[in-house]
Amino acid sequence: MQRRIFNAAAVNIAAGLDPEKCTIFVQSHVPEHTELAWIFNTITPIGHLERMTQFKDKSKQHRENINAGLFTYPVLQTADILLYKGEVVPVGEDQVQHVELSREIARKFNMRYGEIFPEPQAILSEAPRIMGLDGKTKMS
């Protein structure tokens, strides 16, 4: 696992991330990510998660491996964004729905507990979908 972590950091630096200007860290080493996701799970309606396009698509493609991690991943992604009070989130077009869910969760949390989290905005690049090598499906 350590080797994979090192390789992931190296790839990000090689792709242009400047370690002098950004912080690279291992998400699983920050327990607040999963703790906040658990809290958000308590206020997220199941119906919202069932409507996630990515969950529906992957469930059809991999019927033998439909699990809670896939189902609740958008809530963990919300925790990743809101833990750092992210206001602008660069995403591919397939992730816009997840950022919209993040906005809904932030709004619901703030209504119950006071203004804590911003409602993040999804920002798409000029190439919002990068195609895979086959030219037919998006790269994952």
**Rounded-to-10 torsion of CA 102, 4, 17, 123:** -20
Q: How high is the mean pLDDT of the chain? A: 91
Residue 125 above 90 pLDDT?
A: no
Residues in a beta bridge with 123: 90
Average pLDDT, stretch 3-23?
94
Q: Is the dihedral of CA 54, 59, 60, 65 positive or negative?
A: positive
Spans of all domains in the chain: 1-28, 31-123
- φ/ψ of residue 45, rounded to 5: -65, 140
Q: Are 125 and 90 in contact (CB under 8 A)?
A: yes
Question: Between these two residues, 25 and 58, which has the higher pLDDT value?
Answer: 25
Average pLDDT, stretch 83-97?
94
**Residues 66, 71: Cα–Cα separation, whole Å:** 8
pTM, two decimals, is 0.83
29-84 residue pLDDT tens: 999 999 999 999 999 999 999 999 888 888 888 888 888 888 999 999 999 999 99
- φ/ψ of residue 83, rounded to 5: -55, -35
Amino acid 46: pLDDT: 95
CATH superfamily of 31-123: HUPs (3.40.50.620)
**Rounded-to-10 torsion of CA 23, 26, 30, 31:** 160
Please, which pLDDT band fits residue 130 given cuts at 50, 70 and 90? low
